[in-house]
Amino acid sequence: MGKPGSSRDQRRHPCRVGGPEDSSIGGGSPCREEMNSGSRTAGEPGAPLLGLPRDGVSSGLAGHLVLEGRQQISRGSSSSLQERGLCPWTLEKLRATMTATSFLLVLIGCLFQESSTFKIASFNIQRFSESKVTDVGVRNLIIQILRRYELISVQEVMSSDDTAIISLVRELNNATGSHYNLLISDHLGRSSYREKYVYIYREDIVKPTRWYHYDDGCENCGTDSFIREPFVAQFQSLTTELKSFVLISIHTSPDYAVSEVDALFDAWEDAQQQYLIEDILILGDFNADCSYITSKDWPRIRLRQAENHQWLIGDNVDTTVSTNTHCAYDRIVASGAGMLTAVLPHTATAFNFQDAFGLSYEMTKAISDHYPVELELCLDPEYSGERFRTSPSLGVDGGRTTSVDCDCTGVNLTSCRGRCGAYSSDFPCHCNASCRKYSSCCLDYTSYC
């Protein structure tokens, strides 16, 4: 099987711009390396790299972003720079402040010198556990996928013990020479089946500054919104034009995908209020397609209807490995003027690692049943080369979920929809209890809480 790309070691330093005329841009211009040309054509053939919601009708800033990008990319030499990580609007700024000679130097410098990139991904590594680390072939392929990115939201990390995911990141660092670290969520779920969210990040250039689990209500009352509460983290980034942003990770329950994707709107509002920030990416396995969310469901999903949210992975993208499915389960939804202009045009897509690496179907399935979805952020032409201090140890504890005071508000006593007792085996009434018993369950709730 083929190994993609060149050594990550070559990607550490921004592309330098020479010449005294370059003082207006600080002398440092990071450029994007074409690490794997296969990635540009990966995923659904012909799928939009920057997907549009609602029949491709875009509005506001995001629409401007798409149109601007397409116009700019067709403009001769500037497309080379844009292709190497600079925003079209950044190029306009450079063009306005630089002489023709120095602009040419930027172009030449970016084409031939060391380069960098800033890619964000979401990857459901299907039931990730020790077995995928001890299988060297699978582990190495996961590493080949992860090394493409500076920041990854991982879903379906199974074990309460973090040994497997930490050893994966250690092997990732050994393979790349980079300094990745990881921020690990609580073990989330309503039953013995639980998962963790993990953020893996190049901690020398991007780091989480604060984080929390979204408080979605009372689990024991059955009035909460999520089986696995969204894990919210704010990141500070050195090499991108956008210096601070928030990621919200989610893996919805397939059975409750409509209500959970709708409730992501509440989680998004909460993150805005908690951190007073608008630039947010919601990313993960939304289960937002095929039988779990159908076209008739979209009108009642606020996250989809809100005009200030841009669904960057379109409905026609296939994020599933199986040859029997063509579903856009995995999504990235962007909001905030800064974030919408920070996404490099045409970079949001699924990464079909089977095609890119030339894998057999069996080996592909051994890695995951999902492809990652990814995008690229525009680089900062004034990046000075500064680095964050890296930690000698791996693994940052993301803390525990919190729960509000429990009461019976909102509990549906007349149907079996939702939960009764949070699937807890030690709770007096759980979901399998007969609906007739729900009234007494409510009394039990009170005493239990």
Four-residue CA torsion sign, 309, 315, 318, 324? positive
Active-site hit among 195, 229, 374, 376? 195
Q: Which is nearer to Ca ion, 201 or 231 (CB)?
A: 231
Question: 376: helix, coil or strand?
Answer: strand
- C-alpha pair distances (Å), 189 with each of 100, 159, 227, 326: 58, 12, 5, 27
Q: Which is nearer to Ca ion, 8 or 196 (CB)?
A: 196
- Shortest Å, Cβ 410 to Ca ion: 13
Cβ closer to Ca ion: 1 or 449?
449
Q: How far is the CB of 263 from Ca ion (least distance, A)?
A: 10
Q: Which two tokens stand for residue 158?
A: 């199974």
Helix (H, G, I), strand (E, B) or coil at 293: coil
Which pair of structure tokens corresponds to residue 109?
């410098």
State the minimum distance, in angstroms, from the CB of residue 398 to Ca ion. Answer: 16
Q: Which of 162, 195, 203, 224 binds Ca ion (CB under 5 A)?
A: 224
- Which residue reads 């190049």 in tokens? 202
Closest separation between CB of residue 236 and Ca ion, Å?
Answer: 28
Kind of pairing, strands 119-128 and 151-157?
parallel
Total number of residues that touch Ca ion (CB under 5 A): 4
Closest residue to Ca ion: CB criterion: 224
Q: How far apart are CA 142 and CA 294, in angstroms?
A: 31
Segment 188 to 217, residues that bind Ca ion, using CB under 5 A: 216
User: How far is the CA of 209 from the CAs of 12, 131, 255, 292, in angstroms?
Assistant: 22, 32, 33, 34
Q: Mask 377-406, x = binds Ca ion (CB under 5 A)?
A: ------------------------------
- Taking the least distance from each CB to Ca ion, the nearer of 203 and 216 is 216
Tokens of 160: 């309460």
| Least Cβ distance, residue 224 to Ca ion (angstroms) | 4
The total number of residues written for the chain in this structure: 449
Interacting residues of 67 by C-beta distance below 8 A, sequence separation 6+ = none
In the complex with Ca ion, the residue whose CB is nearer, 186 or 204, is 186
> Is 195 considered catalytic here?
yes
Binding of residue 226 to Ca ion (CB under 5 A)? yes
Sites for Ca ion among residues 227-266 (CB under 5 A):
229
Does position 318 interact with Ca ion (CB under 5 A)? The reply is no
Active-site entry in 179, 251, 309, 370? 251
Say how far apart CA 396 and CA 208 lie, in whole Å.
10
Active site members: 195, 251
Contact residues toward Ca ion (CB under 5 A) are: 216, 224, 226, 229
